A and B are shown apart, each in its own frame.
Chain A
């Protein structure tokens, strides 16, 4: 439309095009070039020449197909279960008005930012054979054998994946649901339809894009799962592509083989990302959106069974999510008290953490410094990421379809690549650049920006596309220039989405370890790094204490964002 109008004041393309450039540059130099160098090794044969031999060999190996099939199956089942658990919750959040909604949303985002090793530990502490649930039942029944054998099966893997991912379904679907215009429901109700019929025939079809969008994202995360799968699944019966990539890259030093497998995995994840982008477009193409406060939310379910169902779901999801998290918190308040290693309540780890008790050789002493540098890095990351993500969204909002898709895919690329391969790429970067502490921190921040900006982009872009272009045109016609329009009209409308994006960027940056470990020199340590060092030196409870601090930080940030959105 704006193309027809030529070079008059309504032509905004130059401004928006310029906005996308910095992000693209950053992505290219810090991500795409190192990645291409690593992946390029897949095309090098034994003698150093170029060939497709490696890829052909990999593709004709039945073993590749076997693990690929398992990878896809476990991801599919995990996705279905996560969505099935998330959907009723999304209904509750979208339909009823109750206290503590913000807190529920904040808690749900916590598993997402925890390092997988801590999630595994939390799971074991809570659901394990010697875990809290089994201990409780054993005390009540007075038996010695654990009654519930939940872990170390395929079901345990699915359970853990659902724990990680159902909050994504819950968040994505409920925020979309909240905005669906309610008048169709009212119309149907007037025509005598029952609630269930309305849900099935009116609401559900319109939720499909949101459900698909959440599903693709969850599928993507489960696709590259690795620690959870091996530990909780019980071993090598459950092998994903990621495990094989790791084996080649780190254990057998077959970087070429790892690159070949990575190409296979990237092809698949890119398809998923493309589907995800498509579903997001579907979501914005829905007709007009109601603002939440215009939609009258019911105070509570009308029937008794409804209330019981609601309570049941609430209890289930809170136990499900909070259980393992509480396990981590619980363990952080325990320390061995006797020579036989019995555990009892103790503030020992927190005393060490905050420097009230000095223990030579304990990494906990460095925790406060690490916390401060983590917070600083996360803050700067979220600001830069937010800026870049917003600019990128402005750039991508109005471009012709094919180019927009390829650029969007490009921007989302960091989400699709296995972290083992990304790690190798960062070794390249870090060996090309050697500098002091300042350079190290800058690199870490930039890497975090690359990692987090897809998340910022995917929370802002759909909202951006919802802003009718007529607003922009009206503003321009009324005499504002493009940059004023961008700042005064568009940005304020994007505020809730920007808050969500920034919160995710903050949390992901707080929990990030792979890139940090490679790019930061030894003088910089962040919370996850100290956590890994603690675990590496047998101090699991200390790591749990630090993990608790990390969870509290992220919960505060998310709760703060929720209030930002409402005000």
Chain B
């Protein structure tokens, strides 16, 4: 009996072996067109936009879509890079403007001038080569607790006021994209003098969290009344908790924008199907994406739930171009760590 047991376990442990040997995925029958889409986890999850958008697209186009969760932010690009010689994806969703330069450098994606781009405002066209197309965007913003603060700060400079001592929760740009967003925001506003802002804001910081999740959690626990997040954060509290206690701050100097992009993988076997999917994302899917992601749609014709109109929308969005980011990111991080760990 023990022998059978051993054989069984042996057989089980050979599964990965067999699968490794099999290597590349077999493409389904030619009669059914299909594409594989890589997206970040929350896009794919049951309540994310994926499960709403994909069936609609399949019904409208007759093309099968396999949605794969392939990591967040930089991991998506990393996955594509790791698979360079064994490409699986046709479309990749969720590489932001911050990684534009790196994305173009990999040469893995194919430019596509979607007709839907005509309905998308000019400032969102972050990639002139149309390799990454915008599908939603957000603005970073400080969110405050209105039960604790009556006169909230109106600019980055206001945040330096000593009255906010230990009042602010931030995120580490080395481990959090929101944290990186704020670092870039200060660079966009102050240029090379950005470190002075950081030096002066230090006494006002309660803690610098590893990620948005823990930072925002501390904020809703009431540890501090100011946190870096998105202008759209209050939409959640309005939609699901029916409270307007937490409010986002729009600064006259502008709020840093982050634009999420979608791209077509150059090795795709069915470019046309991939293009049809991208078109769909930029048009019919916009409302579902915005509501599920709690981000702004890029397409101006999109209809949105009322809660979106209750939160302020920045007059202008700040952005740094992809090449500047790519060239300086490591230096900024090093200098930031240096200043902040003193």
Q: Are A231 and B218 in contact (CB under 8 A)?
A: yes
Chain B residues closer than 8 Å to A274, beta-carbon distance: none
Q: A517-B69, A521-B68 are in contact. Are A483 and B2 (CB under 8 A)?
A: yes
In the complex, A317 has a CB within 8 A of chain B: no
User: Quick check: A128 and B172 within 8 Å, CB to CB?
Assistant: no
**In B123-174, which residues have CB < 8 Å from any A CB?**
147, 170, 172-174
- Once the chains bind, are B207 and A340 in contact (CB under 8 Å)? no
Contacting residues, chain B, for A532 (C-beta < 8 A): 213
Q: Are A538 and B172 CB-contacts (below 8 A) given A25-B17, A339-B243, A522-B50? A: no
Q: B19 is contacted by which of A63, A130, A428, A433 (Cβ under 8 Å)?
A: A433
Known: A424-B78, A536-B42, A539-B240. A251 touches B180 (CB 8 A): yes
A359 partner residues in chain B, CB cutoff 8 A:
240
Choose among A152, A363, A429 the residue that contacts B45 (Cβ–Cβ < 8 A).
A363
Stretch at the interface among B81-89, B253-261, B268-276, B306-314: B81-89
Cβ–Cβ < 8 Å partners of A522 in chain B: 41, 44-46, 50, 67-69
B60 sits at the interface (CB 8 A): no
For chain B, the bracket of interface size reads 35 or more
Number of A-B contacts (CB under 8 A): 246
Which secondary structure dominates chain A's binding surface?
helix
Q: How far is the CB of A44 from chain B (nearest CB, A)?
A: 13
Q: How many residues of chain A are within 8 Å of chain B by beta carbon? A: 89
A residues with CB within 8 A of B: 18-19, 21-23, 25-26, 29-30, 63, 117, 120-121, 124-125, 128-131, 151-152, 226-227, 230-237, 239, 243-244, 246-247, 249-255, 335-336, 338-341, 359, 361-363, 365-366, 384, 387-388, 391, 424, 427-429, 431-435, 439, 442-443, 446, 483, 486-487, 517-518, 521-522, 525, 529, 532-533, 535-540
A246 x B174 contact (CB < 8 A): yes
Specify which chain A residues have a CB less than 8 angstroms from the CB of B77 in the assembled complex: 253
Cβ–Cβ < 8 Å partners of B264 in chain A: none
Interface membership of B285, Cβ < 8 A: no
- Nearest to B170 among chain A residues (CB) is A235
One of B221, B292, B340 near A125 (C-beta < 8 A): B221
B341 touching A239 by the CB < 8 A rule? yes
Chain B residues packing against A (C-beta within 8 Å): 2-3, 5-6, 9-10, 12-17, 19-20, 22-23, 25, 41-42, 44-47, 50, 67-71, 73-75, 77-79, 81-83, 86, 88, 99, 102, 147, 170, 172-175, 177, 180, 205-211, 213-218, 220-224, 233, 236-237, 240-246, 291-292, 294, 329-330, 333-334, 336-337, 340-341
Contacts of B240 in A (CB 8 A): 359, 361-362, 538-539
* B207 and A363 contacting across the interface, CB-CB below 8 Å: no
A124/B20 contact (C-beta < 8 A), A250-B175, A424-B78, A442-B15 known: no
The docked-state distance in angstroms from the alpha carbon of A365 to that of B147 is: 31
Q: Which of these, A237, A255, A366, A446, contacts B341 with CB under 8 Å?
A: A237
Chain B residues with CB below 8 A from A366, complex form: 46-47
Known: A235-B172, A363-B46. A121 touches B74 (CB 8 A): no
Contact A338 B243, CB 8 Å, known A236-B337, A361-B47? yes
Chain B, Cβ-Cβ closest to A38: B82
Given contacts A517-B69, A522-B44, are A487 and B2 in contact (CB under 8 A)?
A: yes
A428 contacts B50, CB within 8 Å?
no
| Residues of chain B with a CB closer than 8 A to A25's CB | 10, 13-14, 17
Residue of A nearest to B233 (CB): A538
Closest residue of chain B to A21, judged by CB? Answer: B10
Residues of A within 8 A of B46 (CB): 363, 365-366, 522, 525
B147 touches A340 (CB 8 A): yes
Measured between beta carbons, the chain B residues less than 8 angstroms from A23 are: 13
Minimal beta-carbon separation of A252 from chain B (angstroms): 6
Chain A hits for B205, CB < 8 A: 234-235
The answer for the CA separation of A223 and B79 in the assembled complex, in Å, is 27
Bound-complex Cα distance A536 to B294 (A) = 11
**Of B9, B22, B25, B75, which contacts A384 at CB under 8 A?**
B9
